[in-house]
A and B are shown apart, each in its own frame.
Chain A
Amino acid sequence: MTATSWRHGASHAVLDVEGIGVALSGRQILEGVSFTIDAGEFTGLIGSNGAGKTTLLRIILGLLRPSAGRVLLDGAPLSRQNRSIGYVPQKVLLDPDMPMRARDLVALGIDGDRFGIPTPSKRRRAAVEEMLHAVDAQGFADARVGTLSGGEQQRVLIAQALISHPRLLLLDEPLANLDPASAQEIIGLLRQVADQQQVALLLSAHEMNPLLPAMDRVVYIAGGRAASGTTDEVIRPEVLSALYGHHVDVLRVSGRVLVVAGPGANEDHCLPVEPPRAAG
């Protein structure tokens, strides 16, 4: 926190999500979601499929208007066009016949939103080269993107998102289709990116175990609400039970965490539990 204040002369977080609620076609998806992320912080957005992770990311990106609450970026409300947010979406169309090399895709991150044809320059090439180096993608920089492996494509997409030097990097399920070894590599790379570039990082995943060693904080979504804090603060039976609305147990097995439904969950029997901790 002190590093942030010193670097930017202000005490607010890079991302400040305040009481976000959203209803889609009459159904309440999220309610009262609040958390903050500081520069250089690696935050995992954990929840099962359909919990509302992508919805929350879309709200932070300004693609979806929340019905309640607000999102602040460096203390200011979201603007329509936001170069301060880098985004790696879940679904990217990288067809084998897409006529782009890895380096072309990265270059598109510089000014892909501008009209007109780009003019090549030494500065562009140097910026792309530097970013390819940062994500360790130089070995396949000239390969067609559609022929790359899932892990290699993720590296290229991360480079594309980072090349405009955003303050916040959002990644939607970047580990979803990776084998465990590639997933570990990507997590290591992202940890390094957060540290070296002091970017605030929010990564969604339905499986938290691979992230445990790298995560500074976790935002856990269930039942339309979220709890945030360090993993020790959030991944506890009483906090998660309150989110799910029924009793869950948290089992720790050789460094891994398992969240399992407790007895009585099927009978809709809610235990009296404490409210989830506020962000902070």
Chain B
Amino acid sequence: MTDLHWIFEPGFFSSQPVHVAVTIGGVAAVVCAIVGVFTVMRGQSFAGHALADVSTAGGSGALLVGLTPLTGFIGGGVIGAAAMDMIGIRRVRGRDLATGIVLGASTGFAALFLYLDTTSAAVTGATQQILFGSIFTVDPSTIPIVAIFSATALVIIAVIYRPLLLSSMSDDVAAARGVPLRLVGLLFMLALALAVGLSALAIGAILSTALLIGPAAAALRLTKRVGSALALACILGVGSTWLGILLAYDSYYWGSSHRGLPVSFFIVGLTFALYLASGLPVVRAHAERRAKQSGEAP
């Protein structure tokens, strides 16, 4: 352990804020990875981003009325998902439109709420906390709520797994076989809202899409089965989240100024680096070889 001193700065393993951050960050990363794989596959990344903006409005609004940011993130996301469904997220052409309208409106509300948050004496650092996250200051009592939201999102994905895949390929084939497309689409948007809300808690509302899309997109480039894409996305997501937390913790000891750098920066930076790396010819060729070997096994 002492040999690893230069990696894990003093107090990393005994610090309670670190325990909470590692738990919530890990759970959020898993949910985001799994929901993210389907989001990328369905071409709904833009919808994910719009939900992040709705979460911003929700989170900042929640602070105003004395609720926890998570309640606001999730509440805002669910309302946003419903609104997008009503405007017409189901029609391909309606998708961009619905997303754009909801995105614009919610950003306006976020501007208002954040202004009111920062001008009221009760809340300090609201803008930083909502937009860019504050995983080290999350109250440990939030963990059970995080667990419930995460379980809900994962159960939804497990239930609609097959119809989701079929409709990602072709809505018409799915509809012809009797898949209730609207219900499946709405349930997926709900899971997406939950994932975005959890991500907002971990790395901030405005950055939440990074954890949703980055690991999933990298995993999709390197795998050719849904199961392995989900598994790899989880590994990449949790890996970059935990490494980001460690680097942020360590950054306090870098230099002499003793100013820790924001954890969100490290997590987002790492997921971005992973995505870039997944496009490197060397990495892709390696993944292809491995996939070929496993494919030939009986």
List chain A positions with a Cβ less than 8 A from chain B: 58, 61-63, 80-83, 85, 87, 89, 91-95, 97-101, 104-105, 108, 111-118, 142-144, 161
Contact = CB atoms under 8 A, between A and B. Distances in A.
B177 interface: yes
The 10 A-B residue pairs with the shortest CB-CB distance, nearest first, are: A81-B178, A112-B166, A142-B295, A99-B229, A113-B177, A144-B224, A61-B176, A89-B172, A97-B220, A87-B176
Given A99-B228, A101-B224, A113 B172 contact: no
A80 B178 contact: yes
Contact of A115 (B159, B168, B223): B159
A122 to B, nearest CB: 12
B158 interface: yes
20 contacts: A63-B172, A82-B178, A87-B176, A91-B172, A92-B170, A93-B168, A93-B170, A94-B169, A97-B41, A99-B41, A99-B220, A100-B225, A101-B224, A112-B163, A112-B174, A115-B162, A115-B163, A117-B161, A118-B162, A144-B224
Given A61-B176, A63-B176, A81-B178, A114 B162 contact: yes
Given A93-B168, A97-B40, 19 more contacts: A61-B172, A61-B175, A63-B172, A81-B178, A87-B172, A89-B170, A92-B169, A95-B41, A100-B165, A101-B224, A108-B166, A112-B162, A112-B166, A112-B174, A112-B177, A112-B179, A116-B159, A116-B161, A143-B224
B147 interface: no
B295 A101 contact: yes
Contacts of B224: 99-101, 143-144
Give the most central of B41, B177, B178, B219: most A CB within 10 Å. B177
B221 interface: yes
A82 B176 contact: yes
Contacts of B285: none
B141 to A, nearest CB: 33
A104 B166 contact: no
A115 B226 contact: no
A63 B175 contact: yes
Interface in B36-77: 37, 40-41, 43
Contact of B179 (A58, A91, A104, A113): A113
**Interface of A: prevailing SS:** loop
A82 B169 contact: no
Contacts of A104: 225-226
Nearest to B159: A115
A63 B178 CA distance: 9
Nearest to B226: A99
A89 B220 contact: no
Contacts of A143: 224
A80 B179 CA distance: 10
Interface string B222-262: 01111011000000000000000000000000000000000
A94 B162 CA distance: 16
A96 to B, nearest CB: 9
Contacts of B159: 115-116
Given A97-B221, A100-B224, A101-B224, A112 B165 contact: yes
Given A83-B177, A87-B172, A93-B168, A117 B40 contact: no
B176 A62 contact: yes
B173 interface: yes
A177 to B, nearest CB: 15
Contacts of A112: 162-163, 165-166, 173-174, 177, 179
Given A97-B40, A101-B295, A113 B226 contact: no
B119 to A, nearest CB: 46
A81 B174 CA distance: 10
Contacts of A101: 224-225, 295
Contacts of B225: 99-101, 104
B169 A93 contact: yes
A264 B141 CA distance: 83
Contacts of A144: 224
Contacts of B43: 93
Contacts of A97: 40-41, 217, 220-221
Given A101-B224, A144-B224, A113 B170 contact: no
Contacts of A91: 170, 172
Contacts of A161: 173
A94 B170 CA distance: 9
Contacts of A92: 169-170, 173
Given A112-B165, A113-B162, A98 B175 contact: no
